[in-house]
Amino acid sequence: MVMWVFGYGSLVWNPGFHYDEKVLGFIKGYKRVFDLACIDHRGTPEHPARTCTLEKAEEAICWGTAFCVRGGPEKERLAMEYLERRECEYDLKTCVDFYKEADPLKPAVTGVIVFTSTPDKVSNKYYLGPAPLEDMARQIATANGPCGNNRDYLFLLEKAMHDIGHEEDYVIELANEVRKVLTESTTKKVTPVKESRASRVANKSKNNVPTAHQILPPHPEAVATTI
């Protein structure tokens, strides 16, 4: 038997399980979005990270990597158990057609498993939904978890897409916005606070107030005499 799994997030650069074949390609009808919460890897329940999931989009394609596991049911079971622990925030496993760049019309593999999530905040507690780019960037820039920070997840995905030759505008735009947030945060930390004119005047007045030693005459020194 053979099992195929499609990776479009961290699986692209860090599969973490034993596989027998890796193939670059894409799936149709889905786009990558950062709408899923992660509370145990790159974030916490109090400050969840934003990780990518897939959203249905009729004309879209999503590039990534398909992994093949061969060797029988036991080998497939071990791989799937690992993936289900790792991808625990994803509540759906969907079977899709996988295409190679050389033949974008005919599926190279059918029945490829991909982890997705229900886009509903009521039925899926991990679904965050869309948000303005600036808000997502601030969340990603500041979230941290046991496996590292959220921004590295995004930057590694950006690099992975570059490395496979299929950069994605959405990922690049979000990564650049996170860099902007980080730069602004660093600038605020190192920029000295400017003193207002009123504060300068007040401090100058304080400095001009004479001290008690300046106001009072000096005590007469004791003079030793002999009788």
Q: Supply the residues annotated as catalytic.
A: 87
Tell which residue, 29, 34, 28, has the closest CA to residue 53.
34
HSE (side-chain half, CA atoms, 13 Å) at 1: 8
Q: Which residues contact 90 (CB under 8 A, 6 or more apart)?
A: 36, 53, 115, 116, 117, 126
Q: Enter the tokens of residue 130.
A: 């869309």
Q: Please name the residue that has the structure tokens 């978890």.
A: 145
Q: How far apart are CA 140 and CA 148, in angstroms?
A: 12
Strand pairing partners for 70?
A: 2
Q: Enter the tokens of residue 38.
A: 């992660």
Strand pairing partners for 127?
A: 36
Tell me whether residue 17 is exposed, middle or buried, using C-beta atoms within 10 angstroms of its C-beta: 0 to 12, 13 to 18, 19 or more: middle
DSSP per residue, 8-61: -SGGGT---S--SEEEEEEEEEEEEEEEEEESSSS--SSS-EEEEEEEEEEEEE
Longest distance between any two alpha carbons in the chain, whole Å? 125
